[in-house]
Amino acid sequence: MDFLEYNQGILHCDGVAVEEIAQTIHTPCYVYSAAALTHNYHAFDNALPNIPHQICFAVKANGNLTILRHLANLGAGADIVSGGELYKALKAGIPNQKIVYSGVGKTTEEIRFALQSEILMFNVESESELLAIQAEAKQQHKRAPISIRVNPDVDPQTHRYIATGLKENKFGLPVEKAIKLYHQAALMPELEICGIACHIGSQLTSLQPFSAAFDRLLEMIRQLEQDNILLSYIDLGGGLGIRYKDETPPAPKEYGILIQDKFSGLSKTILLEPGRAICAEAGFLLTKIIYIKENDGKRFYIVDAGMNDLIRPTLYQAYHEIIPLRLSPDMEWTTVDVAGPICESGDFLAKSRSLPMLKEGDLILVKNSGAYGFSMASNYNARPRPPEVLIKDGAYSLIRKRETFDQLIENEIIL
């Protein structure tokens, strides 16, 4: 869904002129569309009409409390990977019984907090973690709900930094080991085996790797049931890709058809952990051209957003479409690098990009930045992180303030 459109050459988002936001909130700034979030959430939720399911939004993609609250109001749960994410999910009003906890490095303190919070389940990634959860459950006189994350050794055909389901990756357990661990867990009274989990990677653009992983899961579920280990939940992780440039990812509906084909005979609840597919297209990064310079014939638009605000282009060579806030048919086009103010050659938002000839002070926006944008932002070069804005019902509101210089130093101790 494209919620951005030019109206007489002026870019609008859900009826709001984006320039207005730049005038009051200033740049750089993240902007999200509530309507787009709702649309994307429903696309997932409606993709599985014939099977009980719960969408657990991957908080790592966007942990803003208002965004989480918005999704919670639509019925979303959360996939969390840290105590901090659990804290945020609960603060935003996501029900504890809709929270699943993934990740290879859960600390004792984090396990304690999650167990006290009575989350839906822990997706366990190693034997040592299982033992740590058992020990904590014993201390709290509770039964800890667990599933085991399987690494099905499937190539997700995505960027190698965001592939997780290959045997060389640190995530999950290989099938045989996972089965052994289930048997071990079944003998521990402090643990309640609830399900099985799998997440093979992010930004997947074809169904084939999902299908291969689901087949491995099905085989395992059959084997476990033969051994009298019964599961209530099948957590299929996240990973569905979006179109940044010319990718043609399956729609949630097609993904849903595949899931129903594979699992609807089993009378179990499906959990999905989408992040990107819900919020990437729903957000953009608004930035201003500060300077235009040319070095040996190469033209640069130097903007006020840098790799600390949006690291994806430099970290994953990710393509993000950039569009100007004002567009007219008589504009000349040119090829530019769009670069930030940070002192690194890797600080760019786009390389050799065709854009209109703009001038200093003009505004542009970086599309599809609602996922892994702000959530990966840092204070590098002592830059305060940008504010976040939500457009809802034809009006915009600040949902996170711009950081201040005082906040940059508030935790420091001068000796």
Q: Does 110 bind ligand LLP (CB under 6 A)?
A: no
CB of 209 to ligand LLP, least distance (A): 12
Considering beta carbons, is residue 363 or 371 the nearer one to ligand LLP?
A: 371
The nearest distance, CB 262 to ligand LLP, in angstroms, is 18
Q: Does the annotation mark 198 as catalytic?
A: no
Min dist. Cβ of residue 366 to ligand LLP (A): 13
| Active-site choice (29, 56, 279, 343) | 343
Q: Given candidates 43, 58, 76, 86, which one binds ligand LLP under the rule CB under 6 A? A: 58
- Shortest distance (Å) from residue 171 CB to ligand LLP: 7
Q: Does 79 bind ligand LLP (CB under 6 A)?
A: yes
Should residue 368 be labelled a site residue for ligand LLP when binding is judged by CB under 6 A? no
Distances (CA, A) of 77 to 64, 74, 180, 263, 336: 14, 9, 30, 21, 42
Applying CB under 6 A, the span of 130-138, 236-244, 254-262, 400-408 interacting with ligand LLP comes to 236-244
Q: How many CA atoms lie within 13 A of 32 on its CB side?
A: 32
| Candidate residues 51, 67, 71, 162; the one interacting with ligand LLP per rule CB under 6 A | 162
Helices vs strands, H then E, count in the chain: 12, 20
199, 216, 288, 392: which one binds ligand LLP (CB under 6 A): 199
Q: Where are the alpha helices (DSSP H) in 227-328?
A: 252-263, 276-279, 312-316
Q: In the bound complex, what is the minimum distance in angstroms from residue 105's beta carbon to ligand LLP?
A: 12
Cβ proximity to ligand LLP: between 6 and 380 the closer is 380
Residue 77 in contact with residue 100, Cβ under 8 Å? Answer: yes
Torsion sign (Cα): 114, 120, 123, 126: positive
71 lies in the site for ligand LLP, by CB under 6 A? no
**Nearest Cα to Cα of residue 237 among 276, 181, 194, 205:** 276
CA distance 40 to 243: 13
Q: Cβ 334 to ligand LLP, closest distance in Å?
A: 28
Contact between 275 and ligand LLP by CB under 6 A: the answer reads yes
Q: Does 76 bind ligand LLP (CB under 6 A)?
A: no
8 A C-beta contact, residue 274 and residue 238: yes
Cα distance between residue 385 and residue 323, in whole Å: 22
Q: Which is nearer to ligand LLP, 46 or 317 (CB)?
A: 317
Contacts of 90 (CB under 8 A, 6+ apart): 96, 99, 117
Spatial contact of 234 and 99, defined as CB atoms under 8 Å apart: no
The nearer residue to ligand LLP, 195 or 274, going by C-beta atoms, is 274
Three-state helix/strand/coil letters over 28-85: CEEEEEHHHHHHHHHHHHCCCCCCCEEEEEEHHHCCCHHHHHHHHHHCCEEEECCHHH
The nearer residue to ligand LLP, 152 or 324, going by C-beta atoms, is 152
Number of residues that bind ligand LLP (CB under 6 A): 22
Determine, following the binding rule CB under 6 A, whether residue 273 of this chain makes contact with ligand LLP. Answer: yes
Stretch that binds ligand LLP, among 21-29, 83-91, 259-267, 274-282 (CB under 6 A): 274-282
d(CA 169, CA 286): 35
Instruction: Round to whole Å and give the CA distance between 68 and 128.
Output: 31
Which of 28, 238, 249, 283 is in the footprint of ligand LLP by CB under 6 A? 238
Q: Cis ω on the peptide bond leading into residue 28 (within 30° of 0)?
A: yes
Q: Which residues sit at the interface with ligand LLP, rule CB under 6 A?
A: 58, 61, 79, 102, 162, 164, 199, 202-203, 237-240, 273-277, 312, 316, 371-372
Residues noted as catalytic: 343
